[in-house]
Structure 1
Amino acid sequence: MSTPGTLAHSPAVSVVVCVYTEDRWEDILAAVSSVGAQSYPALETLLVVDHNPALRDRLAREYKETPRVRVLANTGPRGLSAGRNTGIAAARGEVIAFLDDDAVAERDWLRHFAEGYADPRVMAVGGRTVPVWASGRRPAWFPEEFDWVVGCAYKGLPRGRARVRNVLGGNASFRRTAFDAAGGFATGIGRDGDRRPLGCEETELCIRLSRARPDAVLLLDDRAVIHHRVPAARERFGYFRTRTYAEGLSKALVARSVGADKGLESERRYTTRVLPAGVARGLRDALLGRPGGARRAGAIVAGVLTAAGGYVVGSVRARRGAMTFSVGRIEPAEPERTRAGTDA
């Protein structure tokens, strides 16, 4: 097996997997197993359980004899951001990677992340997330330009290794010093279990990081691949509409915090170049008699309008103080109460 020492720079990597429901038990086991099979071994895997004592206890029993896996309880408010902050506080690695609880990483996932940190200016490296559709194939109406709706890489992202404004949180890594400079993930902006699917917490963090460290480099390396399960409920147009609306709400909060120039910088190119091209492709496919072309074009238009509506509503609420968030604090964890396994 290859080891970290085979790279020119070999940062120790902690992997954080935030979990919240026993409904994803098999997915969680698969995610942890994929981390354990990496060609570039992780220092540790931290399972952060979001206010679910039964799940925490079950995972602690499952990994009691697994030295490199630790089970922690989210020490902050309910939600993904606070769970990630708990993991950051407990992690011992120079680099901290995040993996969704319903995803599996390819064997060289961490290797490609680690390679990116050979440059000391690099503060974050993200990867490519590939959807695994419950139905076995992409719904004919679902445009690739909106794969972010289901937490995956979407058409319009750069290919290869490229500098980006922000990485995508379900498949990302950060140098530990990034959190020292910018603080943690903002609470009140990201997901909270199965409630309204807000997002953008990683966007807000990355913009805040670039302000705190103007020399910081953030990379996307599409060789760092994970495969993300998309349940049947998220293949439906109703979820598509709910998620795009929630994205508009989240973008309003980000723009309110960091300014529209930075908060919407990437989105302007996406809406003026990528999406019109997607509509044109859909209409062309419809004219050629290809399945789903007209529906894909219509879904793109509907997604833009719904997200815009969410942004308008979110902007009004943010100005009134009805929608707020706060920068996450990295509080020390309590390993003696939440530890499963022994030190590696």
Structure 2
Amino acid sequence: MKVSVIVPTHRRVTDLLRCLDALAAQRRIADETIVVTRIDDRLTHERLAQWQHQHALPGLRIVTIAEPGVVAAYNLGLDTASGDIVCFTDDDAAPHRTWLERIAFAFAVDSRIGGLGGRDIIYRDGQPVTGAHRRVGMISWYGRMSGNHHLGVGRARRVAVLKGVNMCWRRAAIAGLRFDARLRGSGAQVHCELAFSLAVARRGWWLVYDPELVVDHYHAPRLDEDQRHRFNALAFFNACHNMRLIMYEAMPAWRRACYLVYALGVGGRDDPGLVRALKLAVDGDGWTRAMHKLALAGRAAIAARRTARAAMH
């Protein structure tokens, strides 16, 4: 069983080299490792050339792309990879030594598995984020999503969604699939792995989350409008648009109606409806920021409907 690893990167060369060091130290080395970098990222190209002279990582390939965004990088990686199993991790992650060994074993012993993911231990200010959740990567019948991939505990189990920093796919399960280029964002097109996960599950394949399949995740700064824990109106709008579009298209009509009621009436922290916006105002965002987020979420919902309708014509 041939295993490919895809690592998209953009101007985070120190993080990338740490990732490659971790991949080179695997008990089971990948048959090919594909680094997808921007054609104009000269520093990354130079440092990669230096690293290759000093380290051994069989099957390492560097492919370049002009188009911005992680979706384009993911899709080029898919087009380039030749493995029976295609794994993704981020340039600011470092897979543990047993990562690929566990991946190859899991896919070999259970032919029902189409996608496999695991825990990413997030580091902030040099310290790991702690906590424990058993509900990971699930979507309720009315569309509420639970992430928590970085805090998962317990046994390996089926889930609805995998996380991009630690996700792997059986080639047969993703044949013909690509990440959705309609998703908004100039760098990290948030929720792209959600749409991909749902597409694989609709084909009847299992998605499995194993907390013992671990990568360290150092959360390097993003070089776009989305700065994770710092509010940016455009990034917030893009994330809301992507979530609403994916849910709108993935659900049958009756669940879509339930989701719209939930999204507009309650919503989540990152795509608030009325109730969540009121809670954000009380919890510290203030009324102006909270109402701004509510308005952005409403505009994003309208834009998502337009995007979905455009695809029908």
So what's the TM-score if we normalise by structure 2?
A: 0.72
Q: Work out whether residues 134 and 232 of structure 1, in 8 Å CA contact, stay in contact via their aligned partners in 2.
A: no
Distance in 2 (alpha carbons) for counterparts of 1:121 and 1:300: 45
Distance, in Å, in 1 between the alignment partners of 2:59 and 2:257 is 38
Shift in alpha-carbon separation, 1:312–1:29, aligned structure 2, 3 A:
same
Match in the other structure for 1:44: 32
User: Which of these residues, 170, 174, 183, is aligned with residue 179 of structure 1?
Assistant: 174
1:5-64 Cα offsets, whole Å, 9 max, x none, are xxxxxx32111000111xx11111000110111112211211001343524632552355
8 A Cα contact 2:27 2:97, kept in partner? yes
Q: Which amino acid aligns with 2:183?
A: I
Counterpart CA distance in 2 for 1:262 and 1:119 is 33
Deviation at 1:245, TM superposition (A): 5.3
Match of 1:57 in 2: 45
- Residues 235 and 42 from structure 1, CA distance in 2 versus in 1: closer, same or farther, beyond 3 angstroms? same
Greater relative contact order (CA < 8 Å, ≥ 6 in sequence): 1
- State how 1:64-103 maps to structure 2 within 5 Å: 64-65=52-53, 66=56, 67-74=58-65, 77-103=67-93
Question: Secondary structure of 2:179's match?
Answer: strand
> C-alpha distance in 1, partners of 2:283/2:295?
16
Preserved contact between residue 250 and residue 311 of structure 1 (Cα < 8 Å): no
Query: For the residues of structure 1 that align with 2:258 and 2:290, how far apart are their CA atoms?
Result: 14
Deviations 1:63-87 (A, max 9, x none): 5544421100137x32111111111
Task: Quickly say closer, same or farther: Cα 1:262–1:89, change in 2 above 3 A.
Answer: farther
Letter in 1 for 2:164: G
Given the alignment of the two structures, is residue 108 of structure 1 paired with residue 132 of structure 2, yes or no? no
How many Å separate the matches in 2 of 1:88 and 1:309?
37
Q: How far apart, CA to CA, are the structure 2 residues paired with 1:304 and 1:35?
A: 42
Quote the residue 1:32 is aligned against: 20
Deviations 1:151-208 (A, max 9, x none): 97355x564211011211111100112221x511111326533xxx541111111111
Instruction: Say whether 1:20 aligns with 2:10.
Output: yes
More displaced, 299-308 or 201-210?
Answer: 299-308
- Flag the 1:252–1:218 CA change in 2: closer, same or farther, 3 A: same
Structure 1-normalised TM-score? 0.66
Conservation of the 8 A alpha-carbon contact between 1:245 and 1:308: no
Between the aligned partners of 1:264 and 1:226, the Cα distance in structure 2 is 36
Aligned residues: 276
* CA distance in 1 between partners of 2:257 and 2:65 (Å): 28
The amino acid across from 2:80 in the alignment is A
1:201 and 2:195 are equivalent in the alignment:
no
Provide closer, same or farther for how the CA distance between residues 14 and 190 of structure 1 changes in structure 2, counting only shifts above 3 A: farther
Relative to structure 1, the CA distance from residue 255 to residue 28 in structure 2 (aligned partners, 3 Å threshold; closer, same or farther) is: same
What is the identity, as a one-letter code, of the residue corresponding to 1:248?
A: C
Match of 1:334?
none
Whether the 8 Å contact between 2:32 and 2:60 is mirrored in structure 1 is yes
User: Structure 2: where are the runs of 5+ without partners?
Assistant: 138-146, 270-279
2:94/2:217 contact within 8 Å kept? yes
* Match of residue 244, structure 2, among 252, 264, 269: 252
Distance in 2 (alpha carbons) for counterparts of 1:50 and 1:203: 24
Shift of 1:113: 1.7
Whole-Å separation in 2 of the counterparts to 1:58 and 1:127: 32
**Shift in alpha-carbon separation, 1:46–1:232, aligned structure 2, 3 A:** closer
CA contact (8 A) 1:252 1:311 kept: no
Is 1:189 the counterpart of 2:183? The answer is: yes
1:130 maps to which residue? 121
Q: 1:243 to 1:78 in 2, by over 3 A?
A: closer
Q: CA RMSD of the aligned region, Å?
A: 4.3
| Counterpart in the other structure of 2:206 | 217
